[in-house]
Copies of this chain bind each other. A is one copy, B any other.
C-alpha cells in the first residue's frame, strides 16, 4: 500500500513511519524535512505535494498546529493558528487529495479528546478538533469510489510528557495504542468514525 504520512517528522509521524514502513511504501511529508516538504496552510502547497506523490492508497495526517495559551490572550488572531492549521489544513488535504487517491483508499485525520473533554489553555484545539470530527462524518457520506475517512482521537500521548501537566488525570495513550487507532482506520472497513484508541 502507498501511504502518505503528513506530519512525518513529528512525534506521532515518526512512530507511524517506523510501524508501517516495513510492509508499505511510505511518503513522508512535513513542513521541514521528510521526502516532500509541504505547508498545509497553503492549498497551493498541498496541491503541489499531491502532484509530486501521484496516486496513493492512504493518507495519514498527524499535523495539528493549534494555539495553546491562557484564555485572556485568546483573540481572533491566536484562534487562526488552529483554524488554518489543524482544521483547514487537514480538511484541504481531503478536499484536494480526493482527486488523487485510489478507489477504496482512506484518509485518517488527527483530532483529540479535547473535543469533548476540554482543558484550560486549549480552547482553540477543542474547537478545531470538533470541526475536523464534524467534517469527517459529513465527508464519509459524500466521498465516492469506496473512499473512506476517519479521525483518530487520542488523549495526551505517551511520547509527549511535556504536555502531561496540562492534562491532569488523563491517562496517556501509548504509542502502540495510537498506532492501533490508525491501523483500524487504514486497514479496517469503517468510515465516518472518530476512533478513540484507548
Among B43, B123, B142, the residue within 8 A (CB) of A138 is: B123
In the complex, A198 has a CB within 8 A of chain B: no
Chain B residues lying within 8 Å of A115, measured Cβ to Cβ, are: 130, 134, 137
A127-169 residues with Cβ-Cβ distance < 8 A to B are: 127-135, 137-143
Q: Shortest distance in angstroms between A11's beta carbon and chain B's nearest beta carbon?
A: 23
Please state the number of chain copies in the assembly. Answer: 2
* 21 A–B pairs (Cβ distance < 8 Å), ordered by A: A71-B139, A71-B142, A75-B95, A79-B88, A79-B95, A87-B127, A87-B131, A114-B138, A115-B134, A115-B137, A116-B134, A119-B141, A122-B138, A123-B139, A126-B135, A126-B137, A127-B135, A127-B138, A130-B132, A130-B135, A131-B134
- Besides A118-B137, A127-B134, A130-B131, 12 more A-B contacts (Cβ < 8 Å) are A43-B76, A79-B95, A87-B127, A114-B134, A115-B130, A115-B137, A116-B134, A118-B138, A122-B138, A128-B134, A130-B135, A131-B134
